[in-house]
Amino acid sequence: MNKTLIITLLIGLFISTGYSQENTVIKGKMKKGRGTVVYLNHNKGNQVVKVDSCKVNFLGNYKLETPVETDDFFSLSTVENDKETQLLILKKEEQIKIKTTTDFKNKDYQVSGSKDNELIQQYYLVKSSDITKDSMSKYAFNFVKDNSTSLVVFVALNDIIEPKEAISIAAKGIGETYPKTLYHTSLLTAQRQIAQAERTKRNQPKPKTPVGSIAPEVNMTSPDGKLITLESLRGKYVLIDFWASWCGPCRRENPNVVNLYKKYKDQGFEVYSVSLDKNKAAWMGAIKKDNLIWKSHVSDLRGWGSAATQIYGFRGIPYTVLIDKEGKVIGTRLRGAALGKKLQEIFGN
């Protein structure tokens, strides 16, 4: 399933339910912050709500407090209602100390009095270092595994490339410490969504052009009536791109394909665009508007009745097939970052 959708669901559940009379206190030291106003924000879904504020005194000290009934996500900032600053997990009646230089954007800060927040600081230090995406994904997975019963798992899940196992680990751990809470149910929901996506994928018909097979020939004409065959592009790596002017996702993907074409065309990359349009003017207009600068544009103007849908056996667009110099299929359904990664593997850079 769409990873971004899962993670958005999880991160969006930084919310709470109520307050008690006892306050959780944050005592801060901002070395070069004299006169700066520091805000304590309550992160509630996609919103932040200011719960306290304080001006840093001439000694660089400030104090913030708020009642906390259940463990929840808060943040510190020097701009009111600014969520992208310093994330905190606050618990009832905690006494937390934090030291910074000028603001909360530099993650090289010091925090004490809270194990969860010490873990967040440790995680941010690693993330802000010179670390590759793959290495960060592995670190984030181990971070979730080692701290599965803490809310800090929500800080790391977004950095895991394939989060299925990590979500399962977190669901079990959070189920022990925060059972029947929105934190726990969000993870269970994500698990169900992943399982449903996997079932859907298994039930999809096998493609007529599996990896390793020779791509079937396509014989269609260009907007000016010229016959352009797929075979005429042998000797190049070719992205067969099935699309249409009326297809929103196709049109949104076009800028990515254009950029990749510009980047790799001189190294032997070509695009063979097959349109499922019925209206020739709409087809030509989309080619011009989206600046699809390659020459191989073909269509039989039969829409879903096109011979291409029967030959390649797809049911939705955009649909792509990547073939090598000999016409052998080396990838299907490649879009966005996945297409860019595959072409980088082939051409480098």
* C-alpha Rg value of the chain to the nearest Å: 27
> Which single residue is written with the structure tokens 């399962």?
168
* 275 vs 283: CA distance, rounded Å: 7
Q: Is 211 part of any domain? A: no
* 19 vs 63: CA distance, rounded Å: 19
Whether residue 173 is found in the same domain as residue 303: no
pLDDT in tens, 92-105: 989 999 998 888 87
> Which single residue is written with the structure tokens 């949104």?
252
Whether residue 198 is found in the same domain as residue 245: no
- Range of the structural domain that residue 57 is part of: 1-204
pLDDT in tens, 238-260: 999 999 999 999 999 999 999 99
Q: What is the mean pLDDT of each run of 10 residues along the chain (349 residues)?
A: 55 44 87 92 83 94 93 89 78 92 81 94 92 93 97 94 94 95 92 88 72 91 93 95 95 95 95 96 95 95 90 90 95 92 90
| Cβ contact 344:331 at 8 Å | no
Whether residue 317 is found in the same domain as residue 183: no
What pLDDT is attached to residue 205? 61
Q: Which two tokens stand for residue 116?
A: 């969860």
Whether residue 103 is found in the same domain as residue 55: yes
pLDDT over 90 percentage in the chain: 71
pTM, two decimal places: 0.58
Greatest CA separation found in the chain? 79
Whether residue 195 is found in the same domain as residue 226: no
DSSP-assigned letter for residue 56: -
Number of domains within the chain:
2
* 10 vs 167: CA distance, rounded Å: 10
Whether residue 309 is found in the same domain as residue 187: no
- Pairing state between β 61-67 and 23-30: antiparallel
Whether residue 24 is found in the same domain as residue 95: yes
Whichever domain contains 178, its CATH number is: 2.60.40.10
What pLDDT is attached to residue 127? 92
pLDDT in tens, 292-335: 999 999 999 999 999 888 889 888 899 999 999 999 999 999 99
Q: Is 209 part of any domain? A: no
What pLDDT is attached to residue 6? 55
